Chain A
Amino acid sequence: MAKYAMVVDLNRCQGCRACTEACKIENNTGQGMFWMHVFRFEDGAFPETRMSFLPRPCQHCDNAPCVKVCPTGARFKREDGIVLTDPDRCIGCRYCELACPYGVNYFNWQKPKDSQYSDVISWDDPDIQAITGGAYPPYKNPDLDKEWGPEGRRTAGGNHAKGVMEKCTFCVQRVEQGSLPACVDTCPVTALRFGDISDSESPVSRFIRENEAWSLLEEAGTKPSVFYVGGKPPSHSYKEVERPKARV
């Protein structure tokens, strides 16, 4: 049984956020929902300023605080390492979001139709309806509603129903069909790698072995499955610049 992990090569990451976009298109996430978010940091005053980029997917921790606190078991961790949310069992208490030290959880504050950029696009416009046939978002990925894994649960995000939690799923619908997560697939400089860390000869394992890989917030004891090579962990003197329009 594979155990999936992701490695981010910060020596290569351009901070271009193509991974953020690929994730949003693949998973149809709503406005302000960044399952993958890329920090752009500035640190230090002119002229000693240093910049750094930090892609932040869900860390799919082995000792996951979110799985521990979930009152109904809607958030669970699979043998292959992926931490998933079952939207049919989630009661929307948002406890997982507050237990998570990385801030990777997003709650569906509004109905799916309203969260799909409807402040600009009116999906009911007859011209648009003529083309989209009333589906919103018109680019809806059918895989998101299917059941995945041996446990057979709708864990690919479903249709982002109002009132349930969601977060990066390592693109469970893609991984189970043998392809890579959308962010890994799209990175123009192969800064993101993904693979089976339980196989010591897999490219991911070798890459981690050959470089000093570190993890985010190791002191929190969450044992994340996302490793970083190059750069260094961000400190609180870092200031995030060029933030996306993230408030819904």
Chain B
Amino acid sequence: MRRNVTAAMIAGGIVLMLVGYLGAAPWGADTVANSDPRFSFAPAVFVIGVIVALSAALVYELMPDRRNK
């Protein structure tokens, strides 16, 4: 249970990072389109992704054992 929750969070974090990064302003020529993000607050999503991926470690440690619940 602990293992796959952590794995899920890491994967989720990475996905969020990818979505955030690709959602932000695209690389390419200096044009009006490339100066705006594809969707608003995309960088926020990227940052959340990084935090989620890292806090997987928190979850991994802090998950209470099934035994003494």
Contacts and interface: CB of A to CB of B under 8 A. Distances in A.
Contact of B30 (A77, A149, A151): A77
Interface residues of A, number: 16
B30 A73 contact: no
A149 B34 CA distance: 16
Nearest to A74: B35
A86 to B, nearest CB: 9
A73 B31 contact: no
A54 interface: no
Contact of B35 (A63, A73, A79, A149): A73
Interface string B28-69: 001110111100000000000000000000000000000000
B35 A67 contact: yes
Nearest to A76: B35
Contacts of B22: none
Interface string A68-94: 101001011111000100000000000
The secondary structure that dominates the B interface is loop
B25 interface: yes
Nearest to B37: A73
A7 interface: no
A64 interface: yes
Interface residues of B, number: 8
B21 to A, nearest CB: 15
B8 to A, nearest CB: 32
A149 B35 CA distance: 15
B41 to A, nearest CB: 12
Contact of A79 (B32, B36, B37): B32
Contact of B32 (A63, A64, A68, A77): A77
B35 A70 contact: yes
Nearest to A150: B32
A166 B24 CA distance: 24
A62 B31 CA distance: 10
Contacts of B31: 76-79
A73 B33 CA distance: 10
Contacts of B32: 76-79, 149-151
Interface in A204-241: none
Nearest to A77: B30
Nearest to A83: B30
Contacts of B37: 73
A82 to B, nearest CB: 11
A67 B25 contact: no
A243 B34 CA distance: 38
6 contacts: A67-B30, A70-B35, A73-B37, A76-B32, A76-B35, A78-B32
Given A68-B30, A76-B36, A150-B32, 13 more contacts: A63-B30, A67-B30, A67-B35, A70-B35, A73-B25, A73-B35, A73-B36, A73-B37, A76-B31, A76-B35, A77-B35, A79-B31, A151-B32
